[in-house]
Amino acid sequence: MKTPGILFLCVANSARSQMAEGLARAQFGDSVRVQSAGSCAAGVNALAVKALAELGIDISGQTSKTVDTIDPETVDTVVTLCVEEVCPVFLANARHIHWPLRDPTAGGGTEEEKLARFREVRDEIRRRLPELLPETKSARRPS
């Protein structure tokens, strides 16, 4: 059997989807192939790196990718993370789940206020991750 795959999608692949990728890798290890992408690659946001570093998770080596670089055969579950923006579309033969999480990069404020938004999104993603594993296992396709 092939390893089940999860793809996290948002617009810039810089914050929400990057944090989701790092959190999922830390939680699921090698039992799941975890990827993230967006409609446009905007680089990994430094506050996303900082928010995960607070949990001992290093995503500084992750890269921002566009959805057209993802092999559909490696994806069983697609999780979109957009709220007001238009999330990219991924037409793989995959289960689609939507987690409407506000973009933590939107809005001003002090560095601490901005980091607080990243922490909120990080913690919500972490809370929801256990929902994915049973669905991902049942979504396995024969190899």
Please determine, for residue 120, whether its predicted confidence score (pLDDT) is greater than 60. Answer: yes
Encode pLDDT of 10-29 as tens digits: 999 999 999 999 999 999 99
Three-state DSSP string of the chain: CCCCEEEEEECCCCCHHHHHHHHHHHHHHHHCEEEEEECCCCCCCHHHHHHHHCCCCCCCCCCCCEHHHCCHHHCCEEEECCCCCCCCCCCCCCEEEECCCCCCCCCCCCHHHHHHHHHHHHHHHHHHHHHHHHHHHHCCCCC
Active-site entry in 6, 87, 101, 132: 87
Pick the catalytic residue from 82, 94, 121, 132: 82
**40 annotated active-site:** no
87 in active site = yes
Q: Which of 6, 9, 10, 44 is catalytic?
A: 10
Over the stretch 123-133, which tens digit does the pLDDT of each residue have? 999 999 999 97
Question: What pTM, to 2 d.p., does this model score?
Answer: 0.90
Active site residue 10: yes
